[in-house]
């Protein structure tokens, strides 16, 4: 049975979607069958991060409402083997989506894939609750600014009601800014109240890759790309030292 991981954040702008696509790509490159589910209805961007814009014709609501099977709706990546995307609709459905249908979708996904990474919408609304309702583990993504860390704390409180294993990823880290703020990664961990899964540096290649519709791991082997690979290995149970960010 596969593992479902919800990737979330308390606020937008933390780089959650890029991280989801990057780690999923690395898990697939390491030989695992991986499904990415974009659950950010109306604001979907995971297809851009994966370089799969306009490839998906059906979305996750088509599966939830029985219009399409998961097998048909999940689209395989054109270059990275073992990597699939189930996208979000471009507009909200006319009626609320039920958690029971989502749990059934995830049951099917666990049978087919080793890992299911869910890109949750930011915030703590109904979309967040639907994205996290069936997850086995959670990854909270935060930057080092105080508002992001405060929102991460609130997210952890909500997730902790149903998920036991929750980790923190510190994303878009700028060492010079941290030195000026006189803060450290340990301070951020204390503020969020979570064990650290990885540290990802600020990296212009993330934006460049997205704007050319290329997954980052196909264009870079350092910076954020290396950090995503390290996180993927830790999810697989490997002991990997935190990369040094200068």
Which residue ranges are tagged as binding site for ATP?
Answer: 11-18
Long-range contacts for 161-165 (Cβ within 8 Å, ≥24 apart)? 162/132, 162/133, 162/135, 163/6, 163/132, 163/135, 163/136, 163/137, 163/138, 165/136, 165/137, 165/138
Q: How far is CA 145 from CA 18, 87, 151, 184, in A?
A: 18, 30, 10, 11
Contact 4, 102 (CB under 8 A): no
At CA 2, angle to CA 72 and CA 59, rounded to 5? 30
Q: Which residues are annotated as a binding site?
A: 11-18
Neighbours of 188 (CB within 10 A): 24
Question: Distance (Å, rounded) from C-alpha 90 to C-alpha 181?
Answer: 39
């Amino acid at each position: 049975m596969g593992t479902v991981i919800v990737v979330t954040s308390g606020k937008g702008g933390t780089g959650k979607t890029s991280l989801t696509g990057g780690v999923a790509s690395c898990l697939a490159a390491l030989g695992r069958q991986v499904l990415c589910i974009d659950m950010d209805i109306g604001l979907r961007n995971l297809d851009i991060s994966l370089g799969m814009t306009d490839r998906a014709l059906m979305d996750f609501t088509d599966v939830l409402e029985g219009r399409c099977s998961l097998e048909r709706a999940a689209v395989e990546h054109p270059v990275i083997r073992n990597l699939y995307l189930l996208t979000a609709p471009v507009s909200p459905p006319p009626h609320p989506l039920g958690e029971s249908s989502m749990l059934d979708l995830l049951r099917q996904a666990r049978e087919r894939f080793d890992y299911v990474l869910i890109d949750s919408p930011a915030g703590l609304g109904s979309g967040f609750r639907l994205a996290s309702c069936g997850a086995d583990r959670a990854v909270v993504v935060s930057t080092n600014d105080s508002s992001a860390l405060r929102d991460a704390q609130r997210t952890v409180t909500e997730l902790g009601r149903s998920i036991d294993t929750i980790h923190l990823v510190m994303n878009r880290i700028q060492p010079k800014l941290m030195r000026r703020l006189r803060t450290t990664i340990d301070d951020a961990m204390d503020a969020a109240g979570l064990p650290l899964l990885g540290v990802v540096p600020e990296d212009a290649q993330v934006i460049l890759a997205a704007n050319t519709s290329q997954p980052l791991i196909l264009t870079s082997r350092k910076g954020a790309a290396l950090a995503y690979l390290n996180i993927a290995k830790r999810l697989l149970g490997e002991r990997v030292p935190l990369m040094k960010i200068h």
